[in-house]
Amino acid sequence: MRMKTLFLIWVLTVAMGSAGQNSTPQAPSQAAPAAQPARPGDVDSIDHIISAVYDVISRPAGPRDWNRFNSLFYSGARLIPSRKDAAGKVSANILSPEDYARRGADYFSKEGFFENAVANRVETWDRLAHVWSTYESRHAKGEAPFARGINSFQLFNDGARWWILTIYWEGEDPAHPLPDKYLK
């Protein structure tokens, strides 16, 4: 019930935010052309699009295939990492896929980074999907993870393929360990 209420509030906020900006009817929003067309096998199922995200960012030190990464996201999509600073203040940073690639380029050029799903909880209805993807992050394959957390994916299917609308994530910390239900 809470999720339904939050969704309705979001819909109303979007509708009211665009109301009055232009009195002429607007065409339905369309996905902007991707920098590179998506690989059909990356976007034909929920499992494949989630795997594609992890695959693109999981590499030894060096460049990532940002064209492939961008091809997974719907126009206006967001990546939202949350963090807690030293004083305990929690914040969320809203990024576009391009922002994420730009900000991560220097780090990824110097550090290996491998992230994989430990468990995915998928809920779908019609064209809507939500995936709670518990992750582990490593600097090299086979190492112990240096971080764990949950990636919350919101996905949309336009009838031809799946698109990522948002990835919001939070890392685990000693005061907030991952619940067992998200590790299975």
Domain that holds residue 165: 34-182
Q: What is the pLDDT of residues 15-33, one digit of tens each?
A: 333 333 343 344 445 555 5
Residues counted in the chain:
184
Is residue 12, in this structure, part of any structural domain at all?
no
Is residue 104, in this structure, part of any structural domain at all?
yes
Contact 46, 129 (CB under 8 A): yes
Q: What is the pLDDT of residues 119-137, one digit of tens each?
A: 999 999 999 999 999 999 9
> What is the pLDDT at residue 30?
55
Is residue 56, in this structure, part of any structural domain at all?
yes
Q: What is the pLDDT of residues 156-166, one digit of tens each?
A: 999 999 999 99
CATH, residue 141: 3.10.450.50
Is residue 58, in this structure, part of any structural domain at all?
yes
Is residue 21, in this structure, part of any structural domain at all?
no
Is residue 136, in this structure, part of any structural domain at all?
yes
- Taking the CA atoms of 161, 165, 80 and 62 in sequence, report the sign of the dihedral they define: positive
Q: What is the pLDDT of residues 139-177, one digit of tens each?
A: 999 999 999 999 999 999 999 999 999 999 999 999 999
Is residue 111, in this structure, part of any structural domain at all?
yes
| Residue 153 burial (C-beta neighbours within 10 Å; 0-12, 13-18, 19+) | buried
The pTM score is 0.80
Q: What is the number of structural domains in the chain? A: 1
Is residue 1, in this structure, part of any structural domain at all?
no
| Residue 144 burial (C-beta neighbours within 10 Å; 0-12, 13-18, 19+) | exposed
